[in-house]
Chain A
């Protein structure tokens, strides 16, 4: 068996509502992310948000995604098309095949 530290989980991550500009203007990303965080705990959505900032974000304006250590106000996170508040928010542990969607709330009309 391989070292659990090297194991990854395949997930998809989508951005919408303008957030995609921070991630090379791509709305859909297929990713293999570490199955564990630095402390050996199973990777959760909180870990993923940090991981995205470090590895996937191409625009340095990280404050448009994370503010004060949390997802910026005005961004919804959906886990498999459900508001993350229906799951365990950032404590939700990633499962293979999960789709995580970040949308910026819109106000125009």
Chain B
């Protein structure tokens, strides 16, 4: 579903005239004057930008700031790909949207903003997610691609298609307080070519295998600070403008002097608790194209083809461990209680004592919990358990596993423990761990999981609960 939103764009991308010698219009001279007088820029570089076509995949925390500067700089054709709609929780970082556009497709919302900033470029809306079926069609019409997506399966897909179609790729990612950016496949090099190298790496050369699914952090789950992801998006636009203005995406002509490829991963990492971290920006030297790379290495033409990708080979979801679905519960029926039952059978029985252990991170806990709950983050619980195990103090030291507030008087050791987390997965493991450590006193003390976590609590008990 392509939607061209500028009447000046005259049909298919190949028919656009790439005029590299025309005079600039009055408006262009004025609008781009400050960037054109930067040493190394000038008219020729600006015309390259005006003739360039950039595809921004993802209209989120990276895509919004990247698109603003891409549009501001006067890139001639700007495509945006995203299938999501704007949500309120996006707006702290996805600054190309607005409160009044909540519920609109992100692509249309962002283009509305970009047109306001600069009406001259041709904007092309792709209001769909990129998939193995549409990826080649989306990417083929552009000169340079920005990967502003949010999951590993899509990142491998985009890189593979960029290798196959010989497109330079500027890839960035961010979560919590860290960000990364790297320029890949630039200048684009034919798939499988190694002779005469070194050649630039692709995404797979740098990141051969994705992390296991349990180690993948998403912004929705783990959080993200706006300026951290924003900086990475702005840096993507900076790299794109540099590459296009200087024709760095075109392999050097014979006899042309150019600095050799130096693949660099820029790492940005910031600490909320120290004024100056041990490092904030770090430029890391990466290896060039690898002979062993699945996508661009020796014999890769046999493994990776456009037709193959459309057929589902390789299977990106499977490769990234997403086929298995969410981890299933491990506990027996009698070890679990629903939030509603907990209220009816436990909370309202005023005489019965009990302990509620909330294993969410302290930031989540700071917004509230079940009345009387004590916070012991899951990671900390595991660390303390491991420490106790190592020191061999299983009993009686095992009581120290729980926060002091949960201490009960002698003779009350059978007071039950109810464990709750965010969505009901960690809490089940916590119940198992506490039992393994002997806190259930051989079955005398009940340790029960509150099924579905605080998410279910909000749904079943307290709709006003500030669940994040």
Contacts and interface: CB of A to CB of B under 8 A. Distances in A.
Partners in one complex: yes
Interface of A: 14, 16-18, 21, 27-28, 58-61, 64, 67, 72-76, 78, 81-83, 85-86, 101, 103-109
B224 A16 contact: no
A59 B265 CA distance: 28
Interface stretch (B26-34, B106-114, B378-386): B378-386
A28 B283 CA distance: 17
Contacts of B207: 74, 76, 105
- A61, A82, A86, most chain B CB atoms within 10 A: A61
A29 B210 CA distance: 26
Interface of B: 58, 60-63, 148-152, 155, 172-176, 178-180, 206-212, 214-219, 222, 224, 229, 232, 265, 267, 269, 271, 277-279, 282-287, 290, 379, 382-383, 385-387
B171 to A, nearest CB: 10
A106 B269 contact: no
A106 B284 contact: no
A74 B174 contact: no
A63 to B, nearest CB: 8
Contacts of A27: 269, 271, 277-279
Nearest to A22: B379
Contact of B283 (A18, A64, A81): A81
A109 B382 contact: no
Which 10 pairs between the two chains have the least Cβ-Cβ distance?
A74-B211, A28-B278, A60-B386, A73-B209, A108-B175, A106-B173, A109-B62, A108-B219, A82-B285, A85-B287
A72 B269 contact: no
A109 B149 contact: yes
B285 A81 contact: yes
B175 A18 contact: yes
29 contacts: A27-B279, A28-B277, A28-B279, A58-B383, A60-B386, A64-B214, A67-B212, A72-B215, A73-B208, A74-B209, A74-B210, A76-B206, A76-B265, A76-B284, A78-B284, A81-B282, A81-B283, A82-B284, A86-B287, A103-B178, A104-B215, A106-B175, A107-B155, A108-B150, A108-B217, A109-B58, A109-B61, A109-B229, A109-B232
